[in-house]
Amino acid sequence: MQGEELQDMMQAILPDDALMALVREANLQQRERKLDALTLVRAALVAAAGGSGGREAAVMRKYFEMGAQKVVRGGFYAWFNPALERVLEGVRDRALAYVGAQSVDLPGILGAHVRDWHIVDSTTVRLEDALFAEYPGAGDYAALKVHKRYSVGIGTTVAYHVSPAREHDATHLTVDASWRGLGLLVDLGYASLGLLRACREHEVRFVTRLKDNWKPKVDHLARGTLTRTFFAGSDLDALLEAETIVLDGKVIDADVHFGTGASTLTCRLVAVPTPEKGYRFYLTNLPAAVGPRQVSDLYRVRWEIECDNKIDKSCSHLDEIKAEKGSAVRALVHASVVSSVIACLIAHRHRLATRPAEGAPAIRTQPPLHPRAVALAIASAAQSIAAAFTLRGEAARRDWDRLAAYLVHLGKDPNWRAKPSILDQLRGWPLPALSRKPRRSSTHTAN
């Protein structure tokens, strides 16, 4: 990533004129002469990335460090109000709109049958007890959930919203016509037969694990060891128990259905043996050209959203919010998620810039940027990034070039050769070949 590209991305998400328009629309500035609204918004984002946590006190320290006029603590905290929440909602919308305009990076099997793969998940943030009435947790404490929708092709969050932590995850995922042409990697917490029927109705590809209490009926076995014939519609558990279908270390690929009549759901069931945990069973509506092990690899990509949740908490300090007002909490949530989105976007733009040219071998030889490493680099340079927004001309160009080189250098994945993730492998970073040391001769020849 070059400095000009980094500057363009930052200015597209956080331009002065757009931020000030949001400030005026939300009436954040009003007649408060001591408030520097633009600095306050940037301080909220810097504090999220800067290692001091997402607390209001951390934002206050960054705000003063950035040269704003000093005010008493109580006066500063009063600015964490619904107006600031609306401004940061606008920042969120700008960031996610920028994300939606990016090209996807889905080579090979990743993009063969979908325009992008999306993953949904939630992460829980415990709050101060004063917020229990607004955000009840699963127990006698206050907590909220951030429900995220993550793009595999872009490598970052593309949508999110918050809810009380007590609410079940499944109620926050609806597949409708807007999903057409996408793929869904769905966790068991969200999976239901109704959701899979919605995927069929709206032409959405899916991969999910088979739930223990689901009872698929086998219509046809395409791959696997079969010891005797069976009637179409036989219960899978019964076929396995009678060893009609044998779990002998080979993959299984079968056509199955659930339900009867108009509500019948047909799909593929694939099973893949694993060294540690026996067979893993998956359901998918991908065509047979995608083999069972490829289906298993695609589902393993779902781990990417767990890594993204870790960035939100360990780098953007989502779980360190100590505010006691709902509007302040939501404002700080927006600051944390936008901060992590920016780190992921930098990693994505670097992947796009370094991918093999069309017609060249699909193997990638340059190290990828790891979003968490980028986020940590942003944290250490947060103050410099905030200052770069104020520069113009040649001074701005030099500073953005320096920052881009710094982020790329520190953001490189240290494990890209030895331990590429399953997603990196599917994108073209191969596993290293097993090296063998030359065998030492058993005889010794004296000179």
pLDDT of residue 55: 78
> Which residue did the predictor score with more confidence, 237 or 442?
237
pLDDT of residue 82: 95
pLDDT of residue 215: 94
The 10s digit of each residue's pLDDT in 249-294 is 999 999 999 998 888 999 999 999 998 889 999 999 999 999 999 9
Same domain assignment for residues 220 and 328: no
> Which residue did the predictor score with more confidence, 157 or 431?
157
Kindly tell me if the per-residue pLDDT of 438 is higher than 70: no
Same domain assignment for residues 227 and 330: no
In a domain, 35, yes or no: yes
Residue 310's domain comprises 3-102+304-427
The 10s digit of each residue's pLDDT in 1-51 is 889 999 999 999 988 899 999 999 999 876 556 788 888 998 888 888 875
In a domain, 119, yes or no: no
SS (H, E, C) the chain: CCHHHHHHHHHHHCCHHHHHHHHHHHCCCCCCCCCCHHHHHHHHHHHHHCCCCCCHHHHHHHHHHCCCCCCCHHHHHCCCCHHHHHHHHHHHHHHHHHHHCCCCCCCHHHHCCCCCEEEEEEEEEECCHHHCCCCECCCCCEEEEEEEEEECCCCEEEEEEEEECCCCHHHHCCCCHHHCCCEEEECCCCCCHHHHHHHHHCCCEEEEECCCCCCCEEEEEEECEECCCCCCCEEHHHHHHCCCEECCCCCEEEEEEECCHHHCEEEEEEEEEECCCEEEEEEECCCCCCCHHHHHHHHHCCHHHHHHHHHHHHHCCHHHCCCCCHHHHHHHHHHHHHHHHHHHHHHHHHHHHHCCCCCCCCCCCCCCECHHHHHHHHHHHHHHHHHHCCCCHHHHHHHHHHHHHHHHHHHECCCCCCCCCHHHHHHCCCCCCCCCCCCCCCCCCCC
Among the candidates 288, 313, 333, a domain finishes at 288
pLDDT of residue 386: 84
Give the pLDDT band of residue 434 (cuts 50, 70, 90): low
- Tell me what the mean pLDDT of segment 334-347 comes to: 95
> Which residue did the predictor score with more confidence, 194 or 29?
194
Q: Which of 24-33, 63-72, 87-96, 174-183 has the lowest mean pLDDT?
A: 24-33
pLDDT of residue 443: 45
Same domain assignment for residues 414 and 364: yes
Kindly tell me if the per-residue pLDDT of 127 is higher than 80: yes
Kindly tell me if the per-residue pLDDT of 446 is higher than 50: no
Same domain assignment for residues 9 and 57: yes
Same domain assignment for residues 314 and 422: yes
Same domain assignment for residues 333 and 410: yes
Same domain assignment for residues 252 and 351: no
- Tell me what the mean pLDDT of segment 348-355 comes to: 94
In a domain, 250, yes or no: yes
Average pLDDT, the chain: 91
In a domain, 159, yes or no: no
Kindly tell me if the per-residue pLDDT of 66 is higher than 70: yes
The 10s digit of each residue's pLDDT in 305-314 is 999 999 999 8
pLDDT of residue 437: 52
Same domain assignment for residues 321 and 404: yes
Percent of the chain with pLDDT over 70: 95
Same domain assignment for residues 284 and 352: no
Provide the number of structural domains found in the chain: 2
In a domain, 437, yes or no: no
In a domain, 109, yes or no: no
Among the candidates 255, 288, 321, a domain finishes at 288
In a domain, 170, yes or no: no
In a domain, 436, yes or no: no
Same domain assignment for residues 310 and 243: no
Same domain assignment for residues 7 and 31: yes
pLDDT of residue 153: 98
Same domain assignment for residues 223 and 320: no
